[in-house]
Amino acid sequence: MGLQHTPTGTRGCATQPAPIEQRRFRDVPAVVLAAFALPLVAAGLTLILGAGGGLYWLVPAMVLGFGGAVLNAWVLLVEIVR
């Protein structure tokens, strides 16, 4: 049961699953953010623990972050025009 905001207040309503296209626009940014954040967390943890790579984890984090930025720029420049 989902909640829907209406001018008269909030009421409960049954929600249908989002179409594939809407789920893609919701899920892709979450995956990009997680792909960028996980190596950063690994870098911090391995620095604290003193084993496991430390700052070497920042390289894949920066590569994935740059890839995420390029993906966002692509959406802003190309996909929104459609």
Minimal CA–CA distance to 37: which of 8, 57, 54? 57
Please state, as a whole number, how many other Cβ atoms lie within 10 Å of the Cβ of residue 56: 12
pLDDT of the residue at 63: 92
Question: For residue 8, is it within any domain?
Answer: no
What domain range includes position 44?
21-79
For 45-78, the pLDDT digits (tens) are: 999 998 888 889 999 999 988 988 888 888 788 8
For 10-22, the pLDDT digits (tens) are: 555 556 666 766 6
Cβ pair 60, 39 in contact under 8 A: yes
Q: What is the largest CA-CA distance in the chain?
A: 57
Question: For residue 13, is it within any domain?
Answer: no
Question: For residue 27, is it within any domain?
Answer: yes
Task: Please state the domain count of the chain.
Answer: 1
How far does CA 75 lie from the centroid of its chain? 14
pLDDT of the residue at 46: 93
Rounded to whole angstroms, the Cα distance separating 10 from 71 reads 36
pTM for this entry: 0.59
pLDDT of the residue at 23: 67
pLDDT of the residue at 1: 47
